[in-house]
Chains A and B, each alone.
Chain A
């Protein structure tokens, strides 16, 4: 069984980068405008709830290798993550807050959602998904 290998167009990589910059932007670029709006709202709302629940915007820490994975997940949010770090008073979160763990879960989920959107944008641009 032979599999046909297609070379993705440069547009596919543009869509991936745009998808990382802001949730839904890659889909908007590919003409999936209504989906793009839904994704933008969902990921942004999840991220903002994460910040409001005083979750942590992870950075790598020595002696804690799992923070590398968490940092990768959070950086998936693109500009939201950068804006969050600049605008929020304490990007490390409030560990004593009741909602701290929830906040972390929301922030990590927002980043992972956006990473999935980047892959989805690539698949659409490469013709693997309608």
Chain B
């Protein structure tokens, strides 16, 4: 199993983006029926997850570890 992880860089941003990608594809297929609607929903969820993650990371930056 670690082979797959070795193929994927242990970069926080990349893993977060992979997570956002999987979750947004899942919900766009689950919640939307038409292709156009699906693409729009995918873009919204993906953007919200990635940009939201970056915003939270930026807000947390001043705090000590």
**Chain A interface (Cβ within 8 Å of chain B)?**
35, 38-39, 42-43, 45-46, 48-49, 51-54, 88, 98-99, 102, 105-106, 109, 113, 116-117, 120, 130
Cα separation A43 to B22 with both chains bound (whole Å): 8
Residues on B with C-beta less than 8 A from A53 are: 5, 15
Contacts A39-B26, A42-B26 known; 6 new A-B pairs at CB < 8 A:
A38-B29, A42-B22, A45-B22, A49-B8, A52-B2, A53-B15
**Chain B interface (Cβ within 8 Å of chain A)?**
1-5, 8, 10, 15, 18-19, 22-23, 25-26, 29-30, 33
Query: How many residue-residue contacts, CB under 8 A, span A and B?
Result: 47
Q: Provide 19 A-B residue pairs closer than 8 Å at the C-beta atoms, listed in order of the A residue.
A: A38-B25, A39-B26, A39-B29, A42-B26, A48-B4, A49-B18, A49-B22, A52-B1, A52-B2, A52-B3, A52-B8, A53-B15, A99-B5, A102-B19, A105-B19, A109-B22, A113-B26, A116-B30, A130-B33
Contact B29 A52 (CB under 8 A): no
Residues on A with C-beta less than 8 A from B26 are: 39, 42-43, 113
Which DSSP category, helix, strand, loop or mixed, fits chain B's interface? helix
Residues on B with C-beta less than 8 A from A113 are: 26
Cα separation A111 to B25 with both chains bound (whole Å): 16
Q: Determine the residue in chain B with the shortest Cβ distance to A53.
A: B5
Residues on A with C-beta less than 8 A from B33 are: 130
Contact B1 A46 (CB under 8 A): no
Contact B15 A99 (CB under 8 A): yes
Closest 9 CB pairs of A and B: A52-B4, A52-B5, A52-B1, A51-B1, A102-B15, A42-B26, A46-B22, A98-B10, A38-B29
Cα separation A39 to B28 with both chains bound (whole Å): 11
Nearest CB on B from A88, distance (A): 6
Cα separation A42 to B33 with both chains bound (whole Å): 17
Residues on A with C-beta less than 8 A from B3 are: 52
